[in-house]
Amino acid sequence: MNRRRFLVGCLIAPLVPLRVGAQASKVEVGYCVGLKGLELAKSVGFDYVELGVSEIAALADADFDAALERAKQIGIPTPNANLFLPSSMRLTGPEAIDPEQQMTYVKKAFARVAKFGVKIVCFGSGGARRVPEGFAKEEAFKQLVAFGKRIAPEAKANGITVVIEPLRRQETNIINTTAEGLELVNAVADPNFELLVDFYHLASEKEDPAIILRAKDHIRHLHMANPQGRVFPLKWEEFDYAPFFKNLRDIGYGGRISVEASSKDVPTEAPQAIALLRKAFAA
């Protein structure tokens, strides 16, 4: 691909081509696919797999042990997990699950995913946090703050950081933007409760990527998809990715980025997506 075309569409910085011979990005590229996709993810070149917390928490003990052994045999790292809470575990509103029941689930879930080597748990769970009609958003926000404060020490005890994931308004009605996620992180005020930025949701909400600069001290993980169809990102010119990645480079982001998207041909498209994202982070 022509190096000047690689930065087409950048609205924030001048069109400067990547330096010839730029070093490969230190950012690892993973795949949100759960236990079923360990072999596939490894075979197509992903650095890691992002597991599903609720999937692992729901396993019978024998099935959990078998899944853990299988993951060790396959050998692809599993440092991240999403799908934190089942939608039945209500966090907001007058019928929110009581704190003791919340913590029973959280303790089991954290202990289990920690055995897989999970260090980051992504807190999307739009159904669980959805605010019931007629219930005050301010009160729901306070409930989420209280939940964050409860789970952060348990996360720390298991070597985990929880990252709140802003979700587009079609998927939930609270914490829809990175700015709102940052507000929640600041309210919880615990180093084991931080922020995830999902480009699909950021673009869907038409949020200015400059929020990356304001949230830089709290961003611990990224999700990625081409917003046009929520599919694998394949080509730089297919969407205006440039401002987002420029800001991530400017803040020196060095964490991980998980592809959370669909594909009709993972073996063909995964290497393209991985190469695109590595090049996007290259110095």
Per-residue pLDDT of the chain (283 residues; tens, 9 = 90+): 433 333 333 333 332 333 333 444 589 999 999 999 999 999 999 999 999 999 999 999 999 999 999 999 999 999 999 999 999 999 999 999 999 999 999 999 999 999 999 999 999 999 999 999 999 999 999 999 999 999 999 999 999 999 999 999 999 999 999 999 999 999 999 999 999 999 999 999 999 999 999 999 999 999 999 999 999 999 999 999 999 999 999 999 999 999 999 999 999 999 999 999 999 998 5
pLDDT score for 221: 98
- The full 3-state SS of the chain, as one line of letters, equals CCCCHHHCCCCCCCCCCCCCCCCCCCCEEEEECCHHHHHHHHHHCCCEEEEEHHHHHCCCHHHHHHHHHHHHHHCCCCCEEECCCCCCCCCCCCCCCCHHHHHHHHHHHHHHHHHCCCCEEEECCHHHHCCCCCCCHHHHHHHHHHHHHHHHHHHHHCCCEEEECCCCCCCCCCCCCHHHHHHHHHHHCCCCEEEEEEHHHHHHCCCCCCHHHHCCCCEEEEEECECCCCECCCCHHHCCCHHHHHHHHHCCCCCEEEECCECCCHHHHHHHHHHHHHHHHCC
Domains, the chain, in order of start with CATH, read 5-13+24-281 (3.20.20.150)
